[in-house]
Amino acid sequence: MTLADSDRELVVEELGREPTPAEAALFENLWSEHCAYRSSRPLLSAFDSAGEQVVVGPGDDAAVVALPTGEGESDGEEEETYVTMGIESHNHPSYVDPFDGAATGVGGIVRDTLSMGAYPIALADSLYFGDFGDDHARYLFEGVVEGISHYGNCIGVPTVAGSVAFHDGYEGNPLVNVACIGLIDDPDRLITAEAQQAGNKLVLVGNATGRDGLGGASFASEDLSEDAETEDRPAVQVGDPYTEKLLIEANEQLVDEGLIESARDLGAAGLGGASSELVAKGGLGARIDLDAVHQREPNMNAPEILLSESQERMVYEVRPENVDRVRAIAERYDLGASVVGEVTDGDYVCTFAGEDGERETVVEVDAHFLGEGAPMNDLPSEEPPTPERDLPAVDVEEALESVVASPNTASKRWVYRQYDHEVGVRTARRPGDDAAILAIREAVGATTDGSATGEGTEGVGLTFSAGADPNWTDTSPYDGARGVALENATNIAAKGATPLAAVDCLNGGNPEKPDVYGGFKGIVDGLAEMCETLSVPVVGGNVSLYNDSPTGPVPPTPTLAMVGTKEGYDAPPLDLDGRGDLLVVGDRTLTGGAGDAGDAATSADPRLGGSEYLSQFGGSDRYPTLPERPADLVETVAEVANREATLATHDASHGGLAVTLAEMVHEGVGADASLPSAGHLFHEQPGRVVVETTDPAGVREAFEGVVPVVDLGTADGSGTLSLSVGGAELSVDAAAVTEWRGTIERALE
C-alpha cells in the first residue's frame, strides 16, 4: 500500500512531519475513493434527503425513517416506530472470491443496521453478472447466490427482494449490492455513530482480529487486474455467520440495557476507520492501545491491527461504569471483548508496543482531518451520445419466446428459493412479486396476535423493492436512472403502498475517464431528479467506482432500494384471477403521445431503447419517454390497488408487456390481449401497471387527467396466453410459458 504523492504532501503539511507507516496506511485507506468519495461527493448534493419522516439522514452507518402513525392516533415520540435503511456494495471481493465476497457483504450491511440500535428484519440483493451463457459469469453467479444464502440463512435475516441482471459489461467485474432494513420499536433505542463524551471507553466486541481483508478499502478503489483472483485474495474478508448471529443478539441486549452511547461497525479500514470516524463525528479524539485488541494471529504489527477488516466486529462507546456489564454480556454470547481505548478531547492517537515491549506512538493526527481532509477530485466528463434508431426485423412469435425466456426476464425462482425468506414470521408477500411486504406489528395500532397475513389485519405493511436495469442506463444514463426510480416506486404502489424513502448504491467504472464519469454523473442526476419529483427522500447510500477490468467498465448502475407503507398486509397478487378486465395504466404510446419534440415514436412505433428485445436481436433506439405526472401516477396506482374490485396488479417494465402478461398467466387462468404492434409488446417504459379489475370504469375515472388507461383485453379461465399483435395471432399455453421462464433453473439444476 502506498500513499499517493499529492496526498502525502497534504499530510506532511498538516502534520509538520513525515507520516509514520501506520499513518500513511491509514490515510491511504480513509482517503481512498471507497471511503472518502473523492470523485462522487461533489455530485451527491443533487439528492434531496429531507422529509418529516427522516430521523437520521446520510452520513451514519444506516439511515433512520419514522413510520407514519395511524389515522387518529397519537404521533407522540414515545409511540413512534423507526425503520433503518442501508445499502452496500461488495463488488471486487465477489469477483475474487464469490462466496466469501458476497457473504461478507451481507454481514457488513447487517452490522451497519445493528450500530443504529436496530434489529435487522429483511435483506434485498441486487446482482449483476456477465452473459449468462459464459461459464465464468455463471460460476460467479452461483457462488454469489450461495454466499448470500448461506450467510443470510445462518443469521436468520430473510432475503425478501432484489434483482438479477446479465450484461456483457459485467464480464470482468460483477456487482453485488445488498440492502438491509431494520426495526427500532422505541425511539429511545436509537444509537448513532457520533461519540458523545470524553472519558468514555471504546470497547471492541466480536471476533478476534486477524490479517484477512487488509487494504480492502484501497483494493475497492482500484481497477481489477487480470490476476485479481489470485493476487488480491488477501484483501477479501472471511465471514462467520454464526458469530454474527451471536453479535446480533448481544447487540440487542446491550441496547435493551442502555449500555451503548454510540457505535460503529468495523467495515472498510477496520478499527482505524471505525474508531476515528466515530470520534470525528463528535468533534472529539481518542487514544487507542493497539496491543489491547484481541487477536487471533501472532506478531501482528500496528498497521495490520488498525486496518484489518476481519468480520463480525463492532466498536462501542461505553461509560466507564458500564464496561464490566458489557464484558459480561459479550462473554455470555461467547464473543471477545476488549477495552481498546478512550474518547478524548485531543487528537486521534494510537500506541503500540509489540513484541519488544517498547511502547511508541504510531498514529497522532486530527481525527477530523483524517476523516474529512481528503481533497475532492474535479474530473472532466463527457455527455453520452444519443442512440440512433436502428430496429431489427424479427418475427413476433420468435421474439416473444426469446424475450420471455431471456435470463434477464426469466423467473428468478432458482435464486430466491435458496433464501429463507420467511424466517422472522414477518413476510406477508414473498419474493417473485413486484415488491415484498413485511408485517410491522410493533407500529402504532398493530395487533400482537402474531398474524402476518389476512385481510383486515391491523398494523403496517412495509413494502420493499430494490434493483436497476443496466440495459436502460447503458442506453441513457440520465433517463434510465429516472426510469429505475420510477419503476421501484411503481413496484411499491402496485401492492397498494405509498413510497416512504430510498437508499442508493451508485456503481460506475473508472471516473478518471471522461465518458465513464459522464455516465456516472447522468445516473446521479437522473435518480436524484425522479426521487425528488416523487417526494421520496434519498436518505443514504453507497458509491462504488473503479469497477473496471480488462474487459472494460461496467455500465453505470444506480441500484435503488425503496420502502413504502400501507395499512395492513393484504395486497393484490401478481397472478391473474381470471374474472376481470385487463387495463394497462400509464402507457404513453398506446394513445399516440410522442413524448417530446423530435421524437420519432408514435402510437404505432414506440421507443425500444434499453429493451430486452434489442438486447436479444441487436439494433438501437432512444429510451422511452416517462409519464409527465409520475407522483400522481404512483399515488393513484396505490389507491386503485387497494380497491375491492382490483383482482391483480403487476408493474410492466423489464421485457415489456410480453413479460408482464407471461408472468401473470398460470395454470387454469389465461389472458386474451390485443396490441397495435410488436413495439408495443416489447418496449419497456417504466411507470406502467397492468390491472385486472371488475370495475374498469372506476379505474379510468381514478386516472383521469393523470395518465392514460387503455383496454388491454380480458382475463379468463383458458390457461392460455392469447395475443393479437398488429394482426398477428399468437396463442401459448400457460404451461409452455412457464417452461420458457425456467431458463435459469434448467441451466443450473
Instruction: Give the right CATH number for 191-220+234-374 from 3.40.50.10320, 3.30.70.20, 3.90.650.10, 3.40.50.300.
Output: 3.90.650.10
Q: Looking at the predicted structure, is the pLDDT value of residue 527 above 50?
A: yes
Q: What percent of the chain is modeled with pLDDT above 90?
A: 85
Q: For residue 651, give the C-alpha cell.
A: 408493474
Q: For residue 542, give the C-alpha cell.
A: 453507497
Q: Looking at the predicted structure, is the pLDDT value of residue 215 above 60?
A: no
Q: Looking at the predicted structure, is the pLDDT value of residue 443 above 90?
A: no
Residues 421-446, mean pLDDT to the nearest whole number: 80
Active site residue ranges:
34, 90
Delimit the CATH 3.90.650.10 region(s) of the chain.
Answer: 191-220+234-374, 572-749
So what's the pLDDT on residue 232? Answer: 43
So what's the pLDDT on residue 549? Answer: 86
So what's the pLDDT on residue 220? Answer: 47
What Å distances lie between residue 515 and 172, 211, 556, 619, CA to CA? 19, 38, 11, 22
Query: Is the separation of the CB atoms in 98 and 139 below 8 Å?
Result: yes
Query: Is the separation of the CB atoms in 583 and 714 below 8 Å?
Result: no
CA-CA distance, 496 to 490, in Å (whole number)?
10
How are strands ordered across the β-sheet holding 175-184? Answer: 54-56, 63-66, 82-89, 175-184, 119-129, 159-166
Residues 582-601, mean pLDDT to the nearest whole number: 65
Give me the helix-helix angle, 98-114 and 241-256, nearest 10°: 0
So what's the pLDDT on residue 229? Answer: 52
Q: For residue 102, give the C-alpha cell.
A: 458476497
Pairing label, strands 728-733, 688-693? unpaired
Task: Give the mean pLDDT of the chain.
Answer: 91
Q: For residue 331, give the C-alpha cell.
A: 462473554
70-101 per-position pLDDT tens digit: 544 444 444 689 999 999 999 999 999 999 99
Q: Looking at the predicted structure, is the pLDDT value of residue 230 above 90?
A: no
- pLDDT band, residue 442 (cuts 50/70/90): low
Q: Is 229 helix (H, G, I), strand (E, B) or coil?
A: helix
Query: Is the separation of the CB atoms in 83 and 184 below 8 Å?
Result: yes
Residues 3-24, mean pLDDT to the nearest whole number: 94
Residues 141-163, mean pLDDT to the nearest whole number: 96
Q: Looking at the predicted structure, is the pLDDT value of residue 222 above 60?
A: no
170-183 per-position pLDDT tens digit: 999 999 999 999 99
- pLDDT band, residue 4 (cuts 50/70/90): confident
Strand runs labelled E in 402-490: 427-429, 436-440, 460-467
Query: Is the separation of the CB atoms in 310 and 258 below 8 Å?
Result: no
Query: Is the separation of the CB atoms in 493 and 564 below 8 Å?
Result: yes
- For 395-455, the DSSP string reads -HHHHHHHHHHSTTTS--HHHHTTS--STTS-EEE-BTBSSEEEEETTSTT---S-----T
Query: Is the separation of the CB atoms in 563 and 437 below 8 Å?
Result: no
CA-CA distance, 363 to 365, in Å (whole number)?
6
CA-CA distance, 432 to 465, in Å (whole number)?
11
Residue environment code for 75-105, b if the CB has 16+ CB neighbours within 10 A, otherwise e: eeeeebbbbbbbbbbbbbbbbbbbbbbbbbb
Q: What angle do CA 112, 119, 325 make, to 5 degrees?
A: 85
Helices (H) and strands (E) in the chain, counts: 26, 28
So what's the pLDDT on residue 624? Answer: 97
So what's the pLDDT on residue 67? Answer: 94
Q: Which pTM does this prediction carry?
A: 0.93
682-712 per-position pLDDT tens digit: 999 999 999 999 999 999 999 999 999 999 9
Q: Is 577 exposed, middle or buried (0-12, 13-18, 19+ CB in 10 A)?
A: middle
Instruction: Please state which of the ranges 21-30, 225-234, 697-706 shows the lowest mean pLDDT.
Output: 225-234
Q: Which residue from 477, 469, 610 is spatially nearest to 170, judged by alpha carbons?
A: 469
CA-CA distance, 457 to 565, in Å (whole number)?
14
Q: Looking at the predicted structure, is the pLDDT value of residue 31 above 70?
A: yes
Q: Looking at the predicted structure, is the pLDDT value of residue 584 above 90?
A: yes
- pLDDT band, residue 430 (cuts 50/70/90): confident
Q: Max Cα separation, the chain?
A: 87
User: In terms of CATH, what superfamily is 572-749?
Assistant: PurM-like C-terminal domain (3.90.650.10)
CA-CA distance, 130 to 90, in Å (whole number)?
16
Residues 403-418, mean pLDDT to the nearest whole number: 96
Sign of the C-alpha dihedral, residues 690, 691, 697, 701? negative
460-477 per-position pLDDT tens digit: 999 999 999 999 999 999
Give me the helix-helix angle, 5-15 and 21-30, nearest 10°: 120
Q: Is 568 helix (H, G, I), strand (E, B) or coil?
A: coil
So what's the pLDDT on residue 424? Answer: 74
CA-CA distance, 458 to 568, in Å (whole number)?
5
Non-local (6+) Cβ contacts of 41 within 8 A are 376
Name the CA dihedral angle for 553, 554, 557, 561, rounded to a multiple of 10 degrees: -130
Q: Is 444 helix (H, G, I), strand (E, B) or coil?
A: coil
DSSP H stretches of helix in 476-549 = 477-494, 514-533
- pLDDT band, residue 612 (cuts 50/70/90): very high
Non-local (6+) Cβ contacts of 52 within 8 A are none
Instruction: Please state which of the ranges 38-47, 404-413, 434-443 shows the lowest mean pLDDT.
Output: 434-443
Q: For residue 381, give the C-alpha cell.
A: 466528463
Q: Is 224 helix (H, G, I), strand (E, B) or coil?
A: coil
**CB hemisphere CA count around 112 (13 angstroms):** 30
Q: Is residue 96 within a helix (H) or strand (E), and if so which, with residue range?
A: helix 91-96
Q: What angle do CA 546, 551, 556 make, to 5 degrees?
A: 45
Non-local (6+) Cβ contacts of 747 within 8 A are 132, 138
Q: Determine phi and psi for 404, rounding to 5 degrees.
A: -65, -35
Q: For residue 716, give the C-alpha cell.
A: 379468463
